[in-house]
Structure 1
Amino acid sequence: MTIQEAARRCGLSADTLRYYERIGLIHAVGRNGSGHRDYAEHDLEWLDFLTKLRSTGMSIADMCRYAELRRAGAHTAGERRLMLERHREKVAARIAELTQDLSALDYKIKAYRETT
């Protein structure tokens, strides 16, 4: 599929896809007979995972390191797992913070509802 189709399907801009390719987050995407990028389903699956990493706060640098390890092969699986476990701990801590913040908001809303 074209870069515009891939961008639309994964919710990123074509410029972001080109940037991700340039910095090594995604491998060199295949080209069609005209020389245009030709994204495959496995490219979109990887982009979906990258989007999840980014939306949960993983830095671009860490994402690049993860992508580098992934390209290096199966012998890096342990290091990739550790990276994801560390990131998961950060996400879980952020969720706990947000849960406390939500409780504070709920308390305040309840107080306003009781007085108005």
Structure 2
Amino acid sequence: MRDYYTPGEIAERFDLTLDTLRYYEKAGLLRRVDRSPNGHRRYRADDVELLNMIRCLRDTDMPIARLRDFAELVREGDHTIPSRLDVLQSHQRRLDERIAEMRRCQAAIQHKIDYYLGVLAERTPEKVKETS
């Protein structure tokens, strides 16, 4: 892994806009970004690792405030690992519940699709013409 990455490289790698990347910085999800000798923003390898987890958590609907807390724990060092584990396990439980609910909804939708397909299969060509 390289030492530094440009904002463009990070945006492309994580499929983010540069505005979203700046928002993550301003929201406190990333530490203060380094600057190259010519003044351009650049990200460290550990920023990339943290951003990978932030994107995963954000994509699974973790609120920004909770993400900020998690990022701060990461920046504070290894002594916060038990707290980080609590955050991740709590999020995992919420995610498991959400996935279960989505599966229930998916089953209800599939049931309705099957019902409508059955209704259509029972129609004769004459009935189809009458309803057209």
> Structure 1 length as normaliser, TM-score?
0.92
Measure how far apart 1:49 and its partner are: 1.1
Which of 93, 102, 106 is the matching residue for 1:102? 106
2:53 corresponds to 1:52: no
8 Å contact 2:11–2:21 — kept in the other structure?
yes
Gaps of 5+ in 2: 121-132
Cα distance, 1:17 vs structure 2: 1.1
The one-letter code matched in structure 1 to 2:30 is: I
Asked if 1:22 is matched to 2:47, the reply is no
CA RMSD of aligned residues (A): 1.3
Work out the CA distance in 2 between the residues paired with 1:51 and 1:88. 15
Distance of 1:97 and 1:107 partners within structure 2: 15
What's the % identity of the aligned pairs? Answer: 41
Please say if 1:35 is aligned against 2:39.
Answer: yes
| Stretches of 4+ aligned residues off by more than 4 angstroms | none
Measure the CA separation in 2 of the matches of 1:63 and 1:2: 23
Higher-Rg structure is: 2
Greater Cα offset, 27-36 or 56-65: 27-36
The TM-score with structure 2 as length reference comes to 0.82
Answer with 36-45 or 83-92: which moved more.
36-45
In structure 2, relative to structure 1, the CA distance for the partners of 1:62 and 1:6 (3 Å cut) is same
Structure with more of its chain in strand, by fraction: 2
